[in-house]
Amino acid sequence: MFGDTAAAADSALIRRVRYLAALIAGVASVLAFAPFDQSWVAPVAVAVLFWTWTGLTPRPAALAGFAYGCGLFLGGTYWTYISIRVFGEAPAALAVFLMLGLVALMAAYYAGLGYVARRWLFPHGGVAMLLLWPAAWMLSEWLRSWVMTGFPWLSLGYSQLDTPLAGFAPVLGVFGVSLAGVMSAGAILLLRRPLSQAGICALAVLAVLWGGGAALRNVEWTEPADKPISVSLVQGAISQDRKWLVEERLPTLRLYRELVDAELGRDLIVLPEAAIPLLMHRAAGYLDALATAARNEGSEIVLGILRRARSDGPVFNSIVVLGETPQIYDKRHLVPFGEYFPVPGFVRDWMRLLSLPYSDLGVGGARQPVLQTTVAALAPSICYEDAFGEQMLAFLPQAGMLVNVSNDAWFGDSIAPHQHLQIARMRSVEAGRATLRATNTGISAVIDHHGKLLAQSPQFEVSVLRADVSVRTGATPFVRFGNLAVVALALVLIAAGIALGRRQVVSGRRR
C-alpha cells in the first residue's frame, strides 16, 4: 500500500517536472525570434517538449503542450496588453483578460498537438520524432493561421530566417521552414543514442535538411525585370497618443509635406499606414497638391489613409497611389479587438455604455487588383496583413514588388515591431520580391528578394530611407502552389509514418 502511494507520488512529481520543462522551453523559444535572433534555441526547445511527451500519456501530454504554448505566447505576445491598455485605453482588467485569453487560445493548439501525438502518433523508434510529430506540428501551425480569422504569429519557421533552413521558404513557405525546424528538433532528441539505428537516421535527416536548405538558398527563383528603381520610405514618428489629436493635424501635415518635398525626383515615395490624420475626402486638397508636386518631378506617392467609399458607409483602412485617378487598396484582414470586435450585439451595447471602443472598420473586397505605378506593380498589405503569406499570392506573380504600410506605434517599445519586421522579411523570401515597408514609428525597412535588409530605420525618430531596388519577375514554387504543397507533404509524411510504425509493430511480434 505504502509502496503504491510512493510510486504515485513519484509519478506525480515526474509529471510536474515535465510540465515545468515544457513551460521553460516555451518561454525560451521566444529567444529564437527577433529581436534576440538565437535561432538555435527553437529546435532545442521543441526537442525538450518532445522529450516531455515521450514520458506522458495523452492527457498529461496535452497539459505539457499547453504549458509550452503558454510560455511561448505569454513571453512572445505580452505586447498585446500594451496595445489594448496603453493605447486602446481599455481598463487594465479587460486588457489582462484579452491578453490571457489570446495566450490560452494559442496554447490550446499545442495542447491538442500533445494529445494527438501521444494518443495516435507514437509508434516505437524514431518515426514519431522525424515524421509524425513534425508533420502534425506543421499542420497545427497552418490551422492556427486561418481558424477564427487566424493568428500566425510566432510560427517556428520565422525563427530560422537567417539559417540554411530558410532555403525552403520559396518552395514551401514559412510552414515548410517550420516543418524542417521541427524535424531537426526530433533528430536532436534521437541523437541521445547516436550509434543506434534511430540516431543514424537522425544524422542523415539533419544532413539532408540543412544541406538541402543551404543549396536552395543559392537558387534564384526570380529575376530582375529592368534597372533598379529609386525609392524613399518616409517615417513621421508621430506618437500614437497624439496622432489623432486635433491640434496635431496641421503639424503632421506640414511634416509629411516637408519630408515628401525633399524626396521629389525619386521614382517612388511611400508613407506609412494612416499617415494623413484625416479621412481621405477631407484631405482632398492636400492630397491633390502632393500628387501635382510629385508628378511635376517624375515621382509617385503611395500612402496610407482612412477613407469612406460613401458618406454613410464604413471607414476603410486604405493604401492610395496618388494621381489624377487614385488607385486604392482597402485592408482585407482586420486586427481582432483593434480594428473590429468579434463580439455579439449585447456586448457592444455594454461596451458603448462603458465608453469603451467598439466600432469596426470596413473590410476590403476579397479580390482587389495590384497597385499599378509607372515603375512597378505593387502587392499591397497593411500592417498585420503581411503575417498571412498566402493572402499575398492574390497579387503574384503580377506584382514585381511588395509594399507594406504599418503603424507599430500601438506596441510601444516592445519586441513586437522587431517580430513584425522578421515576418516582412519572410514574405520577401517566399515571393522572391523586394518589400518596401513604411511605418509610422519604426521599424521601416527596404528588404531585398532574399530577405536581406538593404536599409532600416531607427525607432521613434523622424527618418527617410533611400534605396535602389529591383523589380522582379517570375514565380517561386510557393507563389505557384501556396500552402497546398506543404500541407500535402505533411499528410504524406503522416501516412508514411503510420505505415512504418505498423511495420515496426509487425516485425516486433515476429521476433
Known catalytic residues?
Answer: 273, 331, 383
Q: Fill in the DSSP letter of residue 7.
A: H
CB count in 10 Å sphere of residue 461: 10
The label of the residue with cell 505566447 reads 73
65 contacts: CB under 8 Å, gap ≥ 6: 22, 49, 53, 107, 110, 111, 112, 113, 114, 115
Q: What is the DSSP string of 385-453?
A: GGG-GGGGGGGTTT-SEEEEEE-GGGG-SSSHHHHHHHHHHHHHHHHT--EEEEESSS--EEE-TTS-E
CA angle 394/400/404 to nearest 5° reads 70
445 contacts: CB under 8 Å, gap ≥ 6: 233, 421, 424, 435, 437, 453, 454, 455, 456, 457, 465
Nine cell digits for residue 268: 517612388
Contact assessment for residue 485 and residue 174, using Cβ atoms and an 8 Å cutoff: no
Task: Specify the 3-state DSSP secondary structure of 366.
Answer: coil
Q: What whole-number distance in Å separates Cα of residue 80 and Cα of residue 349?
A: 24
Nearest to 138 by CA among 120, 162, 119, 116: 116
Nearest to 190 by CA among 182, 181, 199: 199
Beta bridge partners of 402: 379, 435
Q: What whole-number distance in Å separates Cα of residue 356 and Cα of residue 359?
A: 9
Nine cell digits for residue 305: 489613409
Phi, psi for residue 439 in degrees, rounded to 5: -125, 165
Q: What whole-number distance in Å separates Cα of residue 29 and Cα of residue 106?
A: 15
Nearest to 45 by CA among 71, 69, 26, 19: 26
Q: Fill in the DSSP letter of residue 279.
A: B
Task: Specify the 3-state DSSP secondary structure of 456.
Answer: strand
Q: What whole-number distance in Å separates Cα of residue 363 and Cα of residue 366?
A: 9
Element spanning 235, H or E = strand 229-235
Task: Specify the 3-state DSSP secondary structure of 154.
Answer: coil
Q: Fill in the DSSP letter of residue 31.
A: G
